[in-house]
Amino acid sequence: MKEKLYRFMQGRYGMDGLSVFLIGTAFVLAVFDTFTRTHILNLFSWALLIFAYTRIFSRNHSRCMGQNMWFYEHTKGIRAFFQKEKSRMKIRKTHHIYTCRNCGQKIRIPKGKGKIIVTCPKCRSEFTKRS
Ligand SMILES: [Zn+2]
């Protein structure tokens, strides 16, 4: 059985970022569809799944890679935004982020140090903050 699957997948394109996105979106649409009566979303969900699996089982690697590149190119901004938010959430546990009132520079201050004088690294203005 495992041998058969291996032979079947040989030379096929397989999973990539776009496929993961398509399957994930299809799942979300299918979940949302259960709250609607029209079942249009279900149709979209199936369309995405079929597209995803035709790509996974495709032997045309260059076309699939092209699609994946296109996907990454066109979602660069969104992915960067989520990456930034993720790192900001991580930092928020240990640090405060203050904005300098003078120049708008963002300043990261470690938490739990009591009352401290913050000096802006950009414009050198000082202000007191409780960290
Ligand atoms: Zn400043």
pLDDT in 10s for each residue of the chain, 131 residues: 889 988 988 999 999 999 999 999 999 999 999 998 888 999 999 999 999 999 999 999 999 999 999 999 999 999 999 999 999 899 989 999 899 999 999 999 999 889 999 999 999 999 998 88
Instruction: Please give the tally of structural domains in the chain.
Output: 2
Q: How far is the CA of 90 from the centre of ligand 1 (A)?
A: 24
Q: How far is the CA of 110 from the centre of ligand 1 (A)?
A: 18
- The answer to whether residues 10 and 66 belong to one domain is yes
Q: How far is the CA of 128 from the centre of ligand 1 (A)?
A: 13
- The answer to whether residues 9 and 62 belong to one domain is yes
- The answer to whether residues 8 and 66 belong to one domain is yes
- 86 within some domain: no
pLDDT of residue 39: 87
- 88 within some domain: no
- The answer to whether residues 9 and 53 belong to one domain is yes
Protein residues near ligand 1, an ion, with CB under 5 A: 100, 102-103, 105, 120, 122-123
- The answer to whether residues 7 and 60 belong to one domain is yes
- 125 within some domain: yes
Q: How far is the CA of 119 from the centre of ligand 1 (A)?
A: 8
Q: Are 44 and 27 spatial neighbours (Cβ–Cβ below 8 Å)?
A: no
- The answer to whether residues 7 and 59 belong to one domain is yes
- The answer to whether residues 27 and 64 belong to one domain is yes
- 31 within some domain: yes
- 80 within some domain: no
Query: In terms of residue numbers, what domain contains 107?
Result: 93-130
pLDDT of residue 55: 97
- The answer to whether residues 7 and 61 belong to one domain is yes
